[in-house]
């Protein structure tokens, strides 16, 4: 019985679709700041952060409940700033684009133009 289960697991793994990887273009990274005025708790901010981080093309996301804003570093060749707002969770919290700028990769997360 264990052998049959083992063979079945191997078969399912071998039939799984290949994992798709996306190459991020570090030279073109942008930083978007979004407002989330309808956040009402820290858990909502954490939820929003996870949603944003799981978007294809997003390198990093940080959502702050206190100021009701999110900072997202993303590759515009993969995802547009408008697409950052399309998820229903982000829409539920009233997501709006506040700013968008080119990020200086040498000082990533510190200085953006």
- In this prediction, residue 3 carries a pLDDT of 52
Mean per-residue pLDDT over the chain, rounded: 81
Model confidence over 71-107: pLDDT tens digits? 999 999 999 999 999 999 999 999 999 999 998 656 5
CA distance 46 to 59: 16
Give yes or no for a contact between 24 and 59, defined as CB atoms under 8 angstroms apart: yes
Per domain, the residue ranges of the chain are 25-107
Assigned architecture for domain 25-107? 2-Layer Sandwich (3.30)
pTM above 0.75, yes or no: no
92 by Cβ neighbours in 10 Å (0-12 / 13-18 / 19+) ranks as middle
């Amino acid at each position: 019985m264990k052998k049959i289960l083992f063979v079945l697991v191997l078969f399912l793994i071998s039939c799984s679709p290949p994992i798709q990887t996306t190459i991020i273009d570090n030279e073109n990274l942008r930083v978007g700041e979004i407002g989330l005025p309808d956040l009402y708790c820290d858990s909502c901010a954490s939820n929003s952060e996870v949603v944003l981080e799981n978007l294809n093309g997003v390198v990093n996301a940080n959502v702050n409940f206190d100021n009701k804003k999110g900072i997202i570093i993303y590759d515009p060749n993969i995802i547009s700033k408008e697409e950052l707002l399309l998820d229903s969770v982000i829409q539920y919290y009233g997501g709006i684009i506040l700013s968008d700028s080119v990020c200086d990769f040498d000082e990533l997360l510190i200085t953006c133009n």
